[in-house]
Structure 1
Amino acid sequence: MFLYWLFAYFLGNMMTGFLVVRLIGNDDIRKQGSGNVGARNAGRILGKKGFILTFLGDALKGALIVLIAKYFGFADEILLVGIALAILGHIKPILLGFQGGKGISTFIGGIITFEPLLIPIIIAGFLVIYLFIKSFTFAGLGSFVLIPITLYFLHYSNISCIITIGILIILYFAHRENIKERLSKHERKS
């Protein structure tokens, strides 16, 4: 179990955006755009191709963590901690001086591989919230609130739901600057 969690963190350290921009753009993603190594910044630098390759690569990390845990028959709680550690590895990668991404792609890949029934819930939540707020960031982060609620109604353990809430707190903390920026823009418009 400890080795699985260690592996999850270091798999999270494998930054797709860093590799994609290095291989295609022959540059360091951390020195361009926002300096973030995630899909959004890779998209700014390389266009749609950079965004899609980075998103898929980072989502695959989350999916692999789930598939490995299921292969070894680990409990859901151990698996969810694995997803959390992969996200932490993505946000604070020791291999890149703790300068990582925001963890959304890794989370999405992991959570929908863990429970595919969450896909329509996340999409529906995103669309409804986006209709009212017109912000991809808030719609995406807002739709994630439905995940632990859905897991509860799908009869996952209370501990699994609590771990999922903990993962969301990590993601929201990683996005705190984006959230503050969006809120201040909204206040200025009001």
Structure 2
Amino acid sequence: MAIIGYYLFSYLLGSLMAGFLVVKLLGNKDIRVEGSGNVGARNAGRVNGKVSFILTFIGDALKGAVVIMAGKYFGFSEEIILGGLGLAILGHVKPVTLKFKGGMGISTFIGGMLAFEPITALVIISGFLILYPFLKSFTFAGLGSFLLIPVSFYFLGAEPKVTIITGFLVLVIIFIHREDIMDRMK
């Protein structure tokens, strides 16, 4: 029963959309009809400037971090905790609060992974810095750096289930970005 409550909490927290609130409060705009219509950090910045980007990124990253910290606090296994992060990402991408039209999940994923394993920050940054000069795309370099997270977990000796679930979450993030990836490959 506690796990079901944790998972419900994770999804509902993921459904609280920082971009919608930030742009509404700072710019008196509805981000869903501005720019790309996406309620994530990138569109918040495009629609309302750098401060909106930063606040939205932090707000969405905190959702992932809070889910991870709550799972650790209640003593759930790493597999259960990563499942909670997956549901927070689902809540961000398909939020019940905004008729299931949300963001792309990057900020929530990053916040959750940093709370789960802080070394992830070095993996993401290093991977991005290595890949960007070759790929010349923030999207491809960022997504490529995420692929290094389960690899790093493997070499750090994480449980195989943790490495597999993390790899699955990375593939979900890449799948969510499939249209953006296809557009950039044209």
Q: Normalising to structure 2: TM-score of the pair? A: 0.97
Deviation at 1:36, TM superposition (A): 0.1
The C-alpha deviation readout for 1:21-47, integer Å capped at 9, x for no partner, is 111111210010000000000001111
Q: Is 1:45 matched with 2:47? A: yes
The C-alpha deviation readout for 1:77-105, integer Å capped at 9, x for no partner, is 00000111000100011121110000000
Identity across the alignment (%): 59
Letter matched to residue 27 of structure 1:
K
Q: 1:153 — aligned with what?
A: 155
Q: 1:181 — aligned with what?
A: 183
Report the 3-state secondary structure (helix = DSSP H, G, I; strand = E; otherwise coil) of the residue aligned with 1:35.
Answer: coil
Q: 2:165 — aligned with what?
A: 163
**What are structure 1's unaligned runs of at least 5 residues?**
185-190
For the residues of structure 1 that align with 2:12 and 2:72, how far apart are their CA atoms? 19
| Aligned with 1:34 (options 33, 36, 49) | 36
Deviation at 1:154, TM superposition (A): 1.5
Q: 1:141 — aligned with what?
A: 143
Deviation at 1:122, TM superposition (A): 1.0
Q: Normalising to structure 1: TM-score of the pair? A: 0.95
Aligned length: 184
Residues 1-190 of structure 1 aligned to structure 2 (within 5 Å): 1-184=3-186
Letter matched to residue 94 of structure 2:
K
Report the 3-state secondary structure (helix = DSSP H, G, I; strand = E; otherwise coil) of the residue aligned with 1:144.
Answer: helix
**What are structure 2's unaligned runs of at least 5 residues?**
none
Letter matched to residue 153 of structure 1:
F
Q: CA RMSD in A?
A: 0.7
